[in-house]
């Protein structure tokens, strides 16, 4: 049977390890792409919506996936102040100027009696049944209490104190052997070292030994002149200023060869990192790993098959993609199909690019 993705191929080869995922802000459920690990998936989801956690738990078929309804905070002894709003202060001020908030105002009365699913679709999680704000959890402490000593993937997207949550992991990421982190970031602010903004997130992650492998920017129009929404619900728009986005950080084992224990990393860890990079739609970085660690990875899965899957990922326009070997050989001939033709971008090419962007991994709204 054909293997549809590198993640599925890697999952078949896992023996001593599982894919350990922590999703902070798990409303809407775990990203479906991680389900490729099947029974090798172990996950912990945390969300402030108790009703959503109950729904997810009731629908969950994997006994190694757990959902915890709780507010997250840097301090367990300080209640969460809900009156401050669901986001950082500068985000709260800025978002009121945006067109999606005007749509929220138009729909407010209907949303109050809407289903929890529709409320989440409109990012109105604060309207759902919430966890106890007087009993917040500190994520690293919760992991320790549950016996989680090894973690592959961390995602933080709470529409709130993401920056403070991330800081609670200062110095704690390396002991967890963490491979990759997915973070919601903001592109507005005044430059303060304490605000939840991309410049602070980026500096923090690089100090922890992570490199940026992908950055998605979401534009939002103002209510002064609303632009067309990208999604079926009010959120980012086709034009507008960069407002928020998604940043994807991972260990760069090629750049840090011989440093920070990169060469001592288990072969299954290396395989999982390659799967993560492929899932992020950066198959070139995954191919680098497969080539550099070919001999080690050969005991886990068919590396040539993995390279062929990555090559196919790089050729979404081909009904019958070239093998990795043929793809690389073709590149060496400097063929014209590696370039866009001179002149205006053809409509068909623009439509294909838009479709690829739509299908690319994105955070849940």
* Residue showing tokens 């960069």: 242
Higher per-residue pLDDT: 220 or 188: 220
Instruction: Please tell me the least confidently modeled range out of 91-100, 223-232, 348-357.
Output: 348-357
Domains parsed from the chain with CATH numbers: 7-250 (3.40.50.150)
Instruction: Give burial (CB, 10 Å; 0-12/13-18/19+) of 107.
Output: middle
Residue 189's region, left for phi above 0, alpha for psi from -120 to 50, else beta, is left
* Distance in angstroms (rounded) separating the CA atoms of residues 33 and 279: 7
Cβ count near 190 (within 10 Å): 7
Instruction: Give burial (CB, 10 Å; 0-12/13-18/19+) of 354.
Output: exposed
pLDDT given at position 330 = 97
Structure confidence by residue, pLDDT tens digits, 61-82? 999 999 999 999 988 988 887 7
pLDDT given at position 261 = 46
Structure confidence by residue, pLDDT tens digits, 181-195? 999 999 988 888 888
Q: Say if residue 226's pLDDT is above 90.
A: yes
Structure confidence by residue, pLDDT tens digits, 236-267? 999 999 999 999 999 999 887 554 445 678 99
pLDDT given at position 125 = 52
Q: Say if residue 136's pLDDT is above 90.
A: yes
């Amino acid at each position: 049977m054909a293997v549809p993705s590198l993640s599925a191929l890697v999952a078949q080869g896992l023996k001593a390890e599982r894919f350990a995922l922590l999703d902070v802000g798990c409303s809407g459920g775990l990203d479906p792409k991680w389900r490729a690990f099947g029974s090798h998936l172990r996950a912990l989801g945390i969300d402030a919506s108790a009703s959503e956690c109950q729904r997810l738990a009731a629908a969950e078929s994997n006994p190694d996936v757990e959902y915890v309804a709780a507010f997250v905070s840097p301090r367990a002894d300080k209640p969460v102040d809900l009156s401050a709003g669901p986001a950082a202060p500068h985000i709260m001020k800025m978002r009121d100027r945006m067109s999606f908030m005007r749509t929220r105002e138009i729909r407010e009365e209907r949303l109050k009696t809407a289903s929890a699913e529709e409320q989440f679709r409109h990012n109105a999680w604060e309207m759902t049944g919430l966890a106890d704000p007087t009993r917040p959890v500190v994520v690293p402490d919760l992991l320790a209490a549950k016996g989680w000593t090894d973690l592959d993937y961390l995602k933080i997207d709470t529409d709130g104190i993401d920056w403070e949550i991330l800081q609670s992991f200062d110095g704690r990421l390396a002991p967890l052997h963490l491979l990759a982190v997915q973070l919601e970031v903001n592109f507005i602010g005044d430059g303060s070292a304490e605000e939840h903004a991309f410049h602070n997130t980026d500096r923090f992650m690089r100090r922890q030994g992570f490199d940026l492998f992908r950055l998605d920017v979401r534009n939002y129009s103002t209510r002064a002149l609303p632009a067309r929404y990208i999604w079926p619900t009010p959120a980012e728009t086709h034009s507008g200023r960069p407002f928020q986005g998604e940043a994807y950080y991972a260990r760069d084992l090629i750049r840090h060869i011989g440093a920070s224990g990169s060469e001592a990393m288990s072969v299954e860890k290396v395989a999982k990192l390659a799967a993560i990079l492929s899932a992020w739609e950066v198959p070139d970085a995954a191919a680098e790993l497969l080539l550099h660690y070919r001999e080690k990875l050969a005991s886990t899965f068919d590396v040539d098959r993995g390279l062929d899957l990555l090559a196919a990922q790089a050729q979404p326009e081909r009904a019958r993609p070239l093998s990795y070997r043929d793809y690389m050989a073709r590149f060496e001939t400097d063929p014209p199909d590696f370039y866009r033709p001179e002149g205006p971008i053809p409509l068909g090419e623009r439509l294909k690019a838009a479709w690829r962007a739509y299908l690319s991994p994105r955070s849940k709204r």
